[in-house]
Structure 1
Amino acid sequence: MHVDPTNDPVANAAKLIDTAASDHALRPSIAGFFDEATNTVSYVVHDPVSMEAAIIDSVLDYEAASGRTSFGSAERIIEYVTSKNLKVTWLIETHAHADHLSAAPFLQEELGGKLAIGEGIIRVQEVFGKLFNAGSDFERDGSQFDHLFTDGETFRLGELEGIALHVPGHTPADMAYIIGDAAFVGDTIFMPDFGTARADFPGGDARQLFQSIRRLLSLPRETRLFLCHDYKAPGRDDYAWETTVGQQRDANVHVRDGVSEDEFVAMRTERDRVLAMPNLIMPSVQVNIRGGRLPEPEDNGVSYIKIPVNAV
């Protein structure tokens, strides 16, 4: 399917999904890798014909008490990629995560591929560069990434076409990526019984989040949605991270059809007011705005994570 960049990006995405739904050859193969320590799901998405693959939202293991990193989660992905003889062409981030460190640079060194995120990362770098007093050596232009996606931009994964959609609200830089009949929606929305993402981080906006979610939920009802997190809603014993637009529209406890924007904003604002900050927010954001790289080592050869005191 050819998409016209002058048209509405969501309409183009809907056409892509409809085409893939009617032709299984245009549906990607998807494997999810759940990291229980951070409740994060990473994905390997590949074209069954060319075997070209994208890795979405990878996790670098980090022990906060000791400050040590390790690569167990990333090595699971490497094992899968090599066992399937996949060629990694993209390492994609849905946003600069506040709950886990990205393993993208490690995976890029091992497997190749272009590291990409939405162009809104520049705004996030500006805000958090100031918070962490990163100094003039820290570039705030997105140059730590190989590619910055714009809203409606198309890309290829072998024979499959993809479309990037800007879905801000959780952060200014959030993107969703539609590949075939599947949408990888980051932290915008969770399983229907759990609801939606918080919107109280710097640059977050509950009203904007509602509008972004409704944009996603205007896609065809059969669109497969792959989520970045799951926390097991009360009464559910198993982790889950795949749903559909139709299921979300019918049953999402925060944003199903019939919930108004004002109702959502009131709920989200009240709920966010009592949420604790994610355990790894300081190391995660500090590393992820650098494309998953640790801060430059100091004169003793050691990298340091800064923790601003009484600043947030």
Structure 2
Amino acid sequence: MTDTVLETAITQIDAARAAGRVPVIRTFFDEPTFTATHVVHDPVTRRAAIIDSVLDFDQPSGRTSHASADAVIAYVRAEGLTVDWLLETHAHADHLSAAPYLQEQLGGRIAIGAEIRTVQGVFGQVFNEPASFARDGSQFDHLFTDGERFALGEMEAIALHVPGHTPACLAYAIGDAVFVGDTLFMPDYGTARADFPGGDARTLFRSIRRLMELPAETRVFLCHDYKAPGRDTFVWETTIGAEAAANIHVHTGVAEDDFVMMREARDATLGMPRLILPSVQVNIRAGHFPEPEENGVRYLKLPLNLL
């Protein structure tokens, strides 16, 4: 079956490279959560998107702060950018989103993949959310579907559904660059886990193979880096060609069944992410906290002996 969405993405990337219309990208790396937040803008119109932002969170005290987000805000204002989009590649399990705070300061629409509704349904049960918790994605300003096209100023962009790590994972191709979230890591580190509720290693493999059909020169921006053994610096940019040639888990030639066997065995050895319980509760709400209780205080739940 012809993947017309992928063909559109390939055409967009090739055209952007041929015309020299490529986005400017500045990355802010949050070492406590190993998260890369990308600010991407059209150099002509200076319209911008912020992808996978981080809210600072001290779990022992339950306190939040905004140093990471404020650094992004300072850059946006210094560069004279107008923020149109606050994009999430998925509902993260390792950090809290700062999207509502950034929206308050800079504007823009908070967006994620339409399958967030599936994630909300699953984790709504995990956290025994009340009926008042909407499971229709309405906490977000926009839900992208696979192949949906949008613009960043005069620069074309398209959303690609790449499930496997979670059901709602998206990659955003903007100009000649693609932002893949947790679907891929640097070639020397491999791929994301697929054992969270709704995750699936076989689906992840097929999503990665789809991404690897993009032009080899496509710039790839990752959401995380953890320094592979023998590497002393954090890195969050690579190319489709480099991933296809050298990704230690899923380079060209790795069979689907072999990948699934490896991924499932590896996932079985991994502990839960340190911030998964607070992160997911917040991120399925588009970065908002649960409503305050009678005493005016907002609370996050800690389910015991469930996950």
Give the Cα separation in 2 of the matches to 1:237 and 1:122.
Answer: 39
Question: What residue identity is the alignment partner of 1:157?
Answer: L
Cα deviation code 1:11-50 (max 9, x no counterpart) = 10001111111121x2000000000000000010000011
Ranges of 4+ aligned residues in structure 1 off by more than 2 Å: none
**Aligned-pair distance for 1:78?**
0.1
Cα deviation code 1:129-154 (max 9, x no counterpart) = 11101110100000000000000000
2:96 is aligned, of 98, 101, 123, to 101
Tell me if 1:46 matches 2:41.
Answer: yes
1:219 is aligned, of 189, 214, 222, to 214
**Aligned-pair distance for 1:293?**
0.5
Aligned to 1:152: 147
Cα deviation code 1:220-241 (max 9, x no counterpart) = 0000000000000000000000
Give the Cα separation in 2 of the matches to 1:39 and 1:309.
Answer: 27
Query: RMSD across aligned C-alpha pairs, in angstroms?
Result: 0.8
Give the Cα separation in 1 of the matches to 2:216 and 2:138.
Answer: 37
Identical amino acids, percent of aligned pairs: 65
Question: What residue identity is the alignment partner of 2:148?
Answer: E
Aligned to 1:237: 232
Of 15-24 and 162-171, deviating more is 15-24
Aligned to 1:292: 287
Give the Cα separation in 2 of the matches to 1:304 and 1:310.
Answer: 19
Cα deviation code 1:44-102 (max 9, x no counterpart) = 00000110000000000000000000000000000000000000000000000000000
Aligned to 1:262: 257
**Aligned-pair distance for 1:212?**
0.2
1:113 is aligned, of 108, 115, 132, to 108
Give the Cα separation in 2 of the matches to 1:179 and 1:251.
Answer: 24
1:276 is aligned, of 262, 271, 279, to 271
Cα deviation code 1:276-308 (max 9, x no counterpart) = 110000000000000000111101111101000
Give the Cα separation in 2 of the matches to 1:250 and 1:139.
Answer: 43
Give the Cα separation in 2 of the matches to 1:144 and 1:114.
Answer: 11
Aligned-partner SS, 1:145: coil
- Within a 5 Å distance, the mapping from 1:1-312 to structure 2 comes to 8-24=4-20, 26-312=21-307
Question: What residue identity is the alignment partner of 2:283?
Answer: N
TM-score by length of 1: 0.97
Give the Cα separation in 2 of the matches to 1:137 and 1:61.
Answer: 27
Give the Cα separation in 2 of the matches to 1:186 and 1:96.
Answer: 10
Give the Cα separation in 1 of the matches to 2:280 and 2:177.
Answer: 27
Give the Cα separation in 2 of the matches to 1:163 and 1:9.
Answer: 9
Give the Cα separation in 1 of the matches to 2:151 and 2:280.
Answer: 28
Give the Cα separation in 2 of the matches to 1:98 and 1:7.
Answer: 30
Aligned-partner SS, 2:14: helix
Question: What residue identity is the alignment partner of 1:79?
Answer: A
- Work out the number of aligned pairs and report it: 306
Label 1:191 to 1:7 Cα distance change in 2 as closer, same or farther (>3 A).
closer
Give the Cα separation in 2 of the matches to 1:21 and 1:215.
Answer: 20
Mark the runs of 5 or more structure 1 residues left unpaired by the alignment. 1-5
Give the Cα separation in 2 of the matches to 1:248 and 1:121.
Answer: 27
Give the Cα separation in 2 of the matches to 1:210 and 1:105.
Answer: 32
Give the Cα separation in 2 of the matches to 1:218 and 1:262.
Answer: 19
Give the Cα separation in 2 of the matches to 1:245 and 1:89.
Answer: 27
Cα deviation code 1:125-177 (max 9, x no counterpart) = 00001110111010000000000000000001000010000000000000000
Give the Cα separation in 2 of the matches to 1:32 and 1:215.
Answer: 25
Give the Cα separation in 2 of the matches to 1:195 and 1:131.
Answer: 29
Mark the runs of 5 or more structure 2 residues left unpaired by the alignment. none
